[in-house]
Amino acid sequence: MSKFKVGFVGWRGMVGSVLISRMVQENDFKNISSFFYTTSQVGEKCPFSFSDCDKLLDGYNLDELKKMDIILTCQGSDYTKKVYLDLRDSGWNGHWIDAASHLRMENDAIIILDPVNRDLIDSSFKQGIKTWVGGNCTVSLMLLAIHGLVKENLVEWVSSMTYQAASGAGANNMRELLGQMGYLYNSVSDLLHDKNSPILDIDEKVSESFEGKDFPKSYFGEALAGSVIPWIDSDLGNGQSKEEWKGPNETLKILNTNYEPFKVDGLCVRIGTMRCHSQAITIKLKKDLSEENVLQKISNGNDWVKLVPNDRENSIHNLSPTKASGKLDILVGRVRKLNLDNNMFSLFTVGDQLLWGAAEPLRRILSIITK
Ligand code: HSE
């Protein structure tokens, strides 16, 4: 059987680069014929020796795109808006795999998170669905963390308070975060070197630096280093951010009718970490379960959940963004029965926003389709 022709768009960006490197790691390219598209450097040499094209193809040229069995884009929603409908209208009936959010809530698109919704993916595939979209990173990471409880339909509601990394806002934001850190450090480095300098003098200078006219904030619009930004994505006008809206709505769509639905709500907050999103989750269960039982169910959720014992040492040293970065592990700790009401538990979870939060579900759906 001839191999599927897969066209990649947006492979140079952050999510795209993580995807390509995961695919190389897993030897995925041997199963497909790969073609690389660009929106800005048509005709330049393709940098990958495993590719089936020597030169970069035009990502806006529908005739070129139509030659593919599968298109996988990490280029962003603007690209999807510009190309997707025209390509479908032109009669192209291939699989479209998309990292961007634009098509997520469309009826004929499935939000992919195969460890959780493989049944939905398989039944949709049989029905002829050909549009597969990666979910919001926070939602995917949350569902993977509590998968063991979700699959037994034990969850009544979830409140997720997020601590989201700069990477979710983009590569430029990650650079800006480090620029802000450096700026703040430089503003007080003399005082820091003097062990006897009063800490309140240092603090005052740092506070002034936030207002400095060359303090870098063109992407975040505000300080993230040394601060937090308690709003992510657009303002829906009802006190809720778009990121917060995605929590319940994408969860419902991912779970579909294969699970009993449950309520999700919470606040989404940007913090000064690089690429791992954390969430402090409160769960109300439908049944009275012991802490031990809950721990066991969570750890049986999927192959990536890694339980961290709820003690001081482990929580400090093994349950942080620095420990999840670059890994597929979904760290889950601070699991404790709360004293607030019956059947309520806390947990704290951390996962890599670029891996399970973005690239990995795309890599896996490609492999599901091509196998
Ligand atoms: N919207 C997310 C964030 C990233 O801003 O962190 C993409 O899912």
What percentage of residues in the chain have a pLDDT greater than 90?
A: 98
Atom of ligand 1 nearest to the CA of 232: 5
Alpha carbon distance 209, 89 (integer Å): 53
Residue 140 Cα to ligand 1 midpoint, Å, equals: 11
pTM: 0.97
Residue 67 pLDDT > 80: yes
Nearest CA to ligand 1 atom 2: 168
* SS3 readout for 67-85: CCCEEEECCCHHHHHHHHH
Residue 250 Cα to ligand 1 midpoint, Å, equals: 13
State residue 229's pLDDT score.
Answer: 98
User: Catalytic: 137?
Assistant: yes
Where do runs of H (alpha helix) occur along the chain? Answer: 14-25, 62-65, 77-89, 114-126, 137-145, 147-150, 171-193, 199-210, 242-255, 291-299, 312-318, 321-324, 360-370
- What value does the mean pLDDT take over residues 41-48? 97
State residue 258's pLDDT score.
Answer: 85
- Which residue in 46, 95, 276, 277 is the catalytic one? 277
- Which residue in 137, 147, 268, 276 is the catalytic one? 137
State residue 257's pLDDT score.
Answer: 85
State residue 153's pLDDT score.
Answer: 96
- What value does the mean pLDDT take over residues 184-212? 98
Nearest CA to ligand 1 atom 6: 168
State the average pLDDT for the chain: 97
Residue 53 Cα to ligand 1 midpoint, Å, equals: 32
Nearest CA to ligand 1 atom 1: 168
Alpha carbon distance 176, 284 (integer Å): 38
pLDDT in tens, 238-283: 999 999 999 999 999 999 988 999 999 999 999 999 999 999 999 9
pLDDT in tens, 289-347: 999 999 999 999 999 999 999 999 999 999 999 999 999 999 999 999 999 999 999 99
Mutate to test the pocket of ligand 1, among 102, 136, 141, 355 (most ligand atoms within 8 A of CB): 136
**Exposed / middle / buried, residue 340 (Cβ in 10 Å: 0-12, 13-18, 19+):** exposed
State residue 309's pLDDT score.
Answer: 98
Residues contacting 361, CB < 8 A, separation 6+: 112, 113, 114, 134, 135, 140
Residues with CB under 6 A from ligand 1: 136-137, 164, 168-169, 232-233, 243
Residue 1 pLDDT > 80: no
User: Catalytic: 53?
Assistant: no
Residue 169 Cα to ligand 1 midpoint, Å, equals: 6
Residue 258 Cα to ligand 1 midpoint, Å, equals: 26
